[in-house]
Every structure is written in structure tokens, then in C-alpha cells.
Structure 1
């Protein structure tokens, strides 16, 4: 005769197995974006939303990469030109440009201006590569099947970095 268990025990066991499976499985999908001519990979839970570039108000006496403040559904968000922040040229605004809002869990209330969104990318299909920079917010680097370099953006390191936090000129 089969062992009888209560529905509660069954649900608890199932929930425990699901938690263990999620802990073991490292997500391999990343959000691919382009900024400053470079290709970037972000963990999906690091990105809040991807929006068409909204109107924003400039803030005087700030660094050139700090573009200002945008009203996103009643919440003010800082707008940072990610390419310029990295030391490159300012992003030329085109219809492909997007504002990548940083996930709420970072309590940053900021968005990064990117050149365009490139969709989901599978890092398991890429080969590890040497990092192009030693900046603390740049994680692992990869090359795709076409030889393009992709760098992981460590959002937690970026939003905690002094350079990102000090927008005053």
C-alpha cells in the first residue's frame, strides 16, 4: 500500500524541491544592450524596465554624463548617459535609444541611456574572453559566435560606485 501523506506535507515538500532547483540553476539568459559602441549583458533581475527615451530636465552644475531628471509615472529618476559615463562620446539620440531603468531593489531611482536593446543573449553559447577594462562594475567578458565582445554589467557595483553617485561637477 502506498504511503499516505497530507496535502500540506506534499506542498511543503514540493516547495522545498522547487527552492533547491532554483538555487542550483544559474540563469544563463542576459539582457543584451548596446552603449557607446560596446555590447553589454545584464542579469534580468538587475534591469527594471526598458522605456523609450522620455523628456528630461537638465540639472545645472552636474557632470556632462548626468543628463538630468525624468518623470517616470510620477517618480523622478536620474538619467545617465552610460556611454559618456564610461568615458566615451555622448550617445547620439535616435529612435532606437532606450532608457534602461535600474531595478528597484537597488534603491537607485536611475536610468541608463543606451543606444539600443539587443534582446536576450545566452552566455552558455559564448566563449569567455579577457575583460577590456578593470572598472569594478564590469564583470565577466565573453565573445559570441561572430567574435563580438560582450561585457557583463555588475549593476550592484555600478550603483554603489563613488563616480556614479557623485554627479556634481
Structure 2
């Protein structure tokens, strides 16, 4: 039987790991997220803060994948529904939905709305797959876990430099 951990303890543990990774300490780790039907890996040092999805204010005349603006502790973040951006279904606004504040480290208040968090992942548990030549540079790397499930590796720096991602206007 698995040991039960309270959500508060898990969040404290994850916040500590994020801080450690951001300071360059500790071993390499990835954060697993789900966006629509896709599983993604993000370098823990690039992942930024994770918050429960708040109310997002829509912005007119923007692309369908741009969910809007969210106020996180007095700072405005541009929220992208990552599933829709990838061509998938809209992310349901339920208890599992999270905002991944990916841009802060890179000087941008960008956030990704994702379906749910899949926890911390050890890079040693994955095998590199052939990169997807049709995918944008920020999504080309792929990995397989021990069960054969394919995970996409998100390069946050490349995503934030992508002109399509940064151009939200229609």
C-alpha cells in the first residue's frame, strides 16, 4: 500500500525541490505535466511556480489558445491553454487544472494552463527517442518511459522565443 501524503506536504516538498533546482543544487529532475492527451517533461529548473488555476479574464481579439490574463499575487500573467496551443481540446477548468508560471525566470509573465501535474520525474527513468522533425524546436525532443509511453520534452526558453507563441493577436 502506498504511503499517503497530504497535499500541503507535497506542495511544500515540490516548492523545496523547485527552489533547489533553481539554485542549481541537487540532481537533475523533470516535472511531468499533462496537456490534453499529451504527457510533457519540463526541466525542474525551468518549470517555475505551479499554482491552482485561478479565474482567467478573457482578452478579445486574441487567438483561440490564448486563455487570457490571470492575477497571481498582484502580478498579471498571460495564460496560454497549452493543449489548445498544441491543437488539442480545451483544458477543463476543474480541481486538477494548474498554471505553470514558465516565464518568470526568463523575464516574461507567461503561464501555461495544463490539465494536471504528473509529479517529479527522474531523467534516468526515460530513454531518448528520435526527435520529431515535424515539431517546433521547443517540442522536438521525445522520451519513452519504462512502460513505453511517449513524453514530449518542453524547452521553455525556445517556447518563449517562438514567434507563434508570442503573437497572441488574431
| TM norm structure 2 | 0.80
Q: CA deviation at 1:103?
A: 4.3
Aligned partner of residue 30 in structure 2, secondary structure: strand
Indicate if the aligned counterparts of 2:104 and 2:110 stay in contact, CA closer than 8 A: no
Alignment partner, residue 38 of structure 1 = 38
RMSD: 2.0
Indicate if the aligned counterparts of 1:33 and 1:118 stay in contact, CA closer than 8 A: yes
Alignment partner, residue 18 of structure 2 = none
Indicate if the aligned counterparts of 1:31 and 1:44 stay in contact, CA closer than 8 A: yes
- Are positions 1:71 and 2:71 aligned together? yes
Q: How many residues align?
A: 147
| TM norm structure 1 | 0.81
Q: How big is each residue's C-alpha offset from its partner over 1:22-62, in whole Å with a ceiling of 9 and x where there is no partner?
A: 99x99431001011211111111111111110111111000
Alignment of 1:141-160 (within 5 A): 141-160=142-161
Moved over 4 A (4+): none
Alignment partner, residue 15 of structure 2 = none
- Are positions 1:110 and 2:110 aligned together? yes
Q: How far apart are the structure 1 equivalents of 2:28 and 2:108?
A: 25
Alignment partner, residue 3 of structure 1 = none
Alignment partner, residue 84 of structure 1 = 84
Gaps of 5+ in 2: 1-22
Indicate if the aligned counterparts of 2:103 and 2:111 stay in contact, CA closer than 8 A: no
